[in-house]
Structures are given as structure tokens and as C-alpha cells.
Amino acid sequence: MKPHPAVAYVAPFAVFIALRWLPFSPEWLAPARFVLLAAPLAVFSRRAIPWRLAFPIGSMLLGLAVLAIWIAPDLVWGPRYREFWLFHNGITGVARSTLPVDLKSNAFFIAVRVLESAILVPVFEELFWRGWLMRYAIRPDFESVPLGRYTALSFWAVALLFAAEHGPYWEVGLIAGVAYNWWIVRTRNLADCILAHAVTNALLAGYVLLFDQWQYWL
């Protein structure tokens, strides 16, 4: 039986959410998660993943801008900024890394985590948020809705849910969601959104490692 068209867009993200409850030690969670996320992308999503870019330079610049927005509040106001109750509570969680100290110098763990963040996450998140949900919010027969079709409801609902996904970083997550949503409306090309998201995540990974800012890898 042929799977529903939404499976290609939703399955990898659903696996990602489910993996948050995996009873693995942090050392093995990263490689296990990498394999379990790569599998549904390869099995279900390979034909839905777009490869043709329309605005590669603009996409990379947008990714850089989102990275700047992501780290700006902590650079300007310092680490105490995230201790404010809006970002530090029982709903959003806490902006604090729980990784054991030894993993911060484990080359295998770091390599897997960087690859997941810079390659897998942008693909399955863009498939879900802007490839499926932004169209599904307009019409359940999402394939009949062109990529980048704008309605206020679909645009802002996806931006708000994208913000909620990012816990104590919800306010910069909201800005990032608006930026990526705007880019899909502007380009009507999911590959460009994937590239922008990948640039943001790759640069953030570099920032985490170069400046010892592990709180960004919750």
C-alpha cells in the first residue's frame, strides 16, 4: 500500500519528537538519534527532498542573519538574560546544557552532533514546517497548495509553533520562524529554506564549539 503523501514530510519530524524520550545515555543518544532520523528520511522522504536552489547566496545570507539574531540577546545582555522568568520556567525549560563534561571533548560525539544539526535537522524540520504544515493549515489536501502560498493563519501558526519547539529560546525561535516563513513565501523553494536553516545550524555549532557555549545544545 502506498503511504499517504504527508508521511514523507511528517515521519522524520515525528521520529525526532519521539526520540526525546529515548532511555539512552547522552554518549549513545547522539549516534542512535542520527541513525533513527536518517532512516525515515532515506526511506520515506528521499523523493520529497528538493535539491535545486533558486537563491543560494540569499539563502546563505539569511542563515547568517538568523544566527546573529539567535546569539545576539546573550551577547548583549549576558547569560543572566536567559534566567528571566519568560525564558526560565517549567514550560520553556532552562537554557543550560546537561551534557557530561567528558562528551565536550569526545570527537565522535561532536562530529555526529554537528552532522545531525547541520544536515539532518534542517531537512526534516523544513519538510515538516514549511513543506507540509504551512500548506496543510491552508488546505488538508496540502499537495494542491503551492509552496510559499501565504495566509496569515498558516504563516503565524507555523511561526508560533516553531518558536514553541525551541523552549527557552522561543523569542529568537519566533524571529527565526518568521524569517524562514518569509523566505519560503519569497522564494517558493523549499531547498532555499533548507540551505538557510543549514547555514544557521552549522554556524551555531561552530559557535558552540569555538566559544564553549554549550547551552545552545540543550
Residue ranges per domain, the chain? 56-216
Of the listed ranges 17-26, 104-113, 136-145, the least confidently predicted one is 17-26
Tell me the CA distances in angstroms from 23 to 12, 36, 120, 176, 180, one per residue in order: 19, 14, 21, 30, 33
Is the pLDDT assigned to residue 23 strictly greater than 80? no
The DSSP letter of residue 209 is H
Given a contact cutoff of 8 angstroms between Cβ atoms, the answer to whether 126 and 180 are in contact is yes
Is the pLDDT assigned to residue 126 strictly greater than 90? yes
Which pLDDT band, with edges at 50, 70 and 90, does 101 fall under?
confident
Give residue 43's pLDDT: 95
Of the listed ranges 94-98, 131-135, 145-149, 207-211, the least confidently predicted one is 94-98
Is the pLDDT assigned to residue 172 strictly greater than 90? yes
Model pTM score: 0.96
Which pLDDT band, with edges at 50, 70 and 90, does 21 fall under?
confident
Mean pLDDT throughout 186-213? Answer: 98
Which pLDDT band, with edges at 50, 70 and 90, does 99 fall under?
confident
Segment 60-69, tens digit of pLDDT: 999 999 999 9
Which pLDDT band, with edges at 50, 70 and 90, does 25 fall under?
confident
CA dihedral sign, ordered 204, 209, 211, 214: positive
Average pLDDT score over the chain = 95
- And the C-alpha cell for 2? 502506498
Segment 105-119, tens digit of pLDDT: 999 999 999 999 999
